[in-house]
Amino acid sequence: MALTFTLLDGRYHDRRSFSCGVAALDDYLRNWAGQHQRDGIATTHILIDDTQPAHILGYCSLSAAQLYLHELLEEHRKRMPAYPVPAMRMGRLAVSANEQGKGYGRLLLGHAVNLALSVRQSMGIRVLIVDAKDARAAKFYEGYGFQPTIDARPTLYLPLGRHKPTSAPPYPAQTQRP
Ligand SMILES: CC(C)(COP(=O)(O)OP(=O)(O)OC[C@H]1O[C@@H](n2cnc3c(N)ncnc32)[C@H](O)[C@@H]1OP(=O)(O)O)[C@@H](O)C(=O)NCCC(=O)NCCS
């Protein structure tokens, strides 16, 4: 058994049998995630076990976003320019009800953080943001260092710290003239 992340593909992945206990999150996966992915609204990343590749253990959806500077805690506003803070939003996170409590939510969150750090090799992303649907969800995120925004609840954010470029740029720094 190996756990893998992949992008949702409605031709292969069984969205119908996914149930996390929150109807709106099941409905999104079944009816909206594919369309949003095609339309450039959000990508949906799913966690699968390679022995049952059609079975969705959990998912998160990601899109570009921003926060206003005044929504960050004062300690996170230092050295920041006076315009909106570039962000990645994890708009939804859900784990199948009979797979909860096995660490998959943590894995999906870690996957989103890794993707944000990887995209940051090519464009600015200062924070990962989430919308907690209730106090329990907020507690889950706060356990991983997310901070409540000022005046923008239920949004929380995870500061990604300062960017450390990898030694190799993601594309050639110089190209030859033809
Ligand atoms: C919230 C959710 C994604 C967590 O996924 P999971 O796979 O069950 O969580 P994990 O097994 O990775 O648990 C990681 C940690 O979070 C804690 N945790 C799990 N669910 C929690 C919750 N609802 N509230 C607070 N903490 C929670 C666990 O106790 C665990 O802590 P530990 O590492 O100290 O033991 C999952 O329960 C879920 O899909 N719930 C329904 C949908 C939902 O509420 N989504 C939140 C988006 S707003």
CATH label of the domain that carries residue 45:
3.40.630.30
Distances (CA, A) of 12 to 7, 32, 56, 98, 121: 11, 16, 10, 21, 31
Q: Ligand 1 within 6 A of 65 CB?
A: no
Does some domain include residue 168?
A: no
Q: Ligand 1 within 6 A of 102 CB?
A: yes
Express each pLDDT in 103-118 by its tens digit. Answer: 999 999 999 999 999 9
The mean pLDDT value for 14-18 works out to 97
* Single pTM value for the model: 0.91
User: What is the number of the ligand 1 atom nearest to the C-alpha of 136?
Assistant: 24
pLDDT of res. 6: 98
Does some domain include residue 176?
A: no
Which residue's CA is minimally distant from atom 33 of ligand 1?
A: 103
Express each pLDDT in 138-160 by its tens digit. Answer: 999 999 999 999 988 899 999 99
Does some domain include residue 167?
A: no
Does some domain include residue 28?
A: yes
Number of domains in the chain: 1
Q: Ligand 1 within 6 A of 25 CB?
A: yes
Q: Distance, CA 43 to ligand 1 centroid (Å)?
A: 21
- Please state, rounded to an integer, the average pLDDT across all residues of the chain: 93
Does some domain include residue 125?
A: yes
Q: Ligand 1 within 6 A of 94 CB?
A: yes
Does some domain include residue 170?
A: no
Q: Ligand 1 within 6 A of 91 CB?
A: no
- The C-alpha atoms of residue 32 and residue 177 are separated, in whole angstroms, by 45
DSSP three-state, residue 139:
helix
Does some domain include residue 82?
A: yes
- The C-alpha atoms of residue 75 and residue 176 are separated, in whole angstroms, by 44
pLDDT of 170 above 70: no
Please give the residue range of the domain that contains residue 70. Answer: 3-159
Q: Ligand 1 within 6 A of 133 CB?
A: yes
Does some domain include residue 172?
A: no
pLDDT of res. 84: 96
Percent of residues, the chain, with pLDDT higher than 70: 93
